[in-house]
Amino acid sequence: MMISSTLTKALNEQIGHELSAHNHYLATAVYFAKRSLDGWAAFFFRQAEEEREHSLKILHFLLDNDIAPYIPQTAEAKPGFADAVEAVASAVRAERTVTTQFEAMMAIAHQENDYRAVPLLQWFLNEQIEEEATMGKLLDLVQSGINLFQAQDYLPRPHADGGEEVPESE
Ligand SMILES: [Fe+2]
Ligand SMILES: [Fe+2]
C-alpha cells in the first residue's frame, strides 16, 4: 500500500522544515563563532549537520516508497540574535515546533492507516524528546549567567544519533 497523499505532502514539507532548521543552526553557529565562542559554535555546527541528516532520512523514506520528493524552498537564516540567551531560546522554540509537526504527522499516519510510516515517525518523536531536553539544558546553562567562555566546559554533548532503530535507507 502506498503512503497516503496527505502524509506524503506533510513528509515532503518536513524535508523543507529540516533543511530550514539546518540553516537556522548554521546561523546560530555563526553567531557564536563571530564572538570566538568556538565550543558553542562547534556544538551548533554539529546540530546543523544532524538536521541535514534528518532531511535526508525523510527523503530516502519517500524514495523507498516509490515517491520522488521535491526539495522545498528553505527559510533564510541570519545570525541576528540580541544575545546568546535569545539564540538558545530560539533553538528551544524551533525544536518544540518540529515536535508538533511530527505529532501531527503521526496523527495522519493513524488516520490514513499509513502503518509503514509509523516507525519512522516514532524515531523522529524520540529524537525530538532528546533534542528538546538538550536545548533545555543549554538554555539553563546560558541563563545561569556563567561566563560563556567558561560555559564551554559544560556544553551538553549532542546526543548520538539513535538511527539504529529505523534501518537506514540504502
Ligand atoms: Fe530535525
Ligand atoms: Fe532538531
**164 within some domain:** no
Ligand 1 centroid from CA 55, angstroms: 7
Average pLDDT over residues 87-98: 97
Task: List, for residues 94-143, the tens digit of each pLDDT value.
Answer: 999 999 999 999 999 999 999 999 999 999 999 999 999 999 999 999 99
Report if residue 35 sits inside a domain: yes
Q: Is residue 23 part of a domain?
A: yes
How many other C-beta atoms can be found within 10 angstroms of the C-beta atom of residue 162?
11
Average pLDDT on 9-13 reads 98
C-alpha cell at 108: 495522519
Residue 159: CB atoms within 10 Å = 12
Domains of the chain: total: 1
CB atoms within 5 A of ion ligand 2 belong to: 131
Find the mean pLDDT for residues 37-42.
Answer: 97
> Does 9 fall in a domain?
yes
Alpha helices in the chain (DSSP H): 5-33, 38-64, 84-111, 118-143, 148-151
Predicted pLDDT of residue 11: 98
Average pLDDT over the chain reads: 92
Going from the Cα of 97 to the center of ligand 2, the distance in angstroms, rounded, reads 10
Instruction: For residue 52, report the distance from its CA to the centre of ligand 1, in Å.
Output: 8
- Residue 167, domain member (yes or no): no
Q: Which residue carries 539504529 as its cell?
A: 164
**CA atoms of 44 and 91, how far apart (whole Å):** 10
pTM for the model: 0.90
- The whole-number pLDDT of residue 75 equals 86
Q: How far apart are CA 84 and CA 78, in angstroms?
A: 14
State the distance from the centre of ligand 1 to the C-alpha of 46, rounded, in angstroms: 12
Decide: residue 57, CB within 10 A, 0-12 exposed, 13-18 middle, 19+ buried: buried
CATH number of the domain to which 31 belongs: 1.20.1260.10
Domain that holds residue 51: 5-159
